[in-house]
Amino acid sequence: MNLDVIGQLVKILKDSPELGAIEVRRGLFGIWSSVRVSKAGHFMGAGQQVVVAASPATHTPGPAGPGGGGAPAPAAAAASSLLDIKSPMVGTFYKSPEPGAEAYAKVGTRVAPGQVVCIIEAMKIMNEIESEVSGVIRESPVENAQPVEFGQILFRVDPHA
């Protein structure tokens, strides 16, 4: 592994306080076989893949004003009950394991914790992203093969459906 790659991994870890560890495993002939990312304070058992942190969206009502009354709009109230599946890294988002294959998850798909929902390619490594929540996917704001940033919302899940 070259020092540039190690430096990039260290920078990602340093710039992301919610991450606890990045583990890179090498397979045969020095080829990377997997990359694991864990949240701070979470232990990753053997066989686990990259897991996305899902946190409930919070809604802070705006100040009361004319006609506003400080109450959230119905659409905002519905959106606040959705849980976000966010990108744990910078990379390229893929909905399916290969071109032409069925998408792992799309709007209307029921997901469960540990279920693969997409792949993010980062530094020529395909990282399977798993859901940490159960429910039905209501939104998928990212298009296939689109670049994504760390923390960008990949899916919005309704846990009550």
**pLDDT digits over 53-73, tens only?**
333 334 444 444 444 444 444
- Domains in the chain, CATH or no CATH each: 3-59+70-158 (2.40.50.100)
- Number of Cβ atoms within 10 Å of the Cβ of 35: 18
| pTM (2 d.p.) | 0.54
Q: What is the pLDDT of residues 67-116, one digit of tens each?
A: 444 444 444 445 568 999 999 999 999 999 998 999 999 999 999 999 99
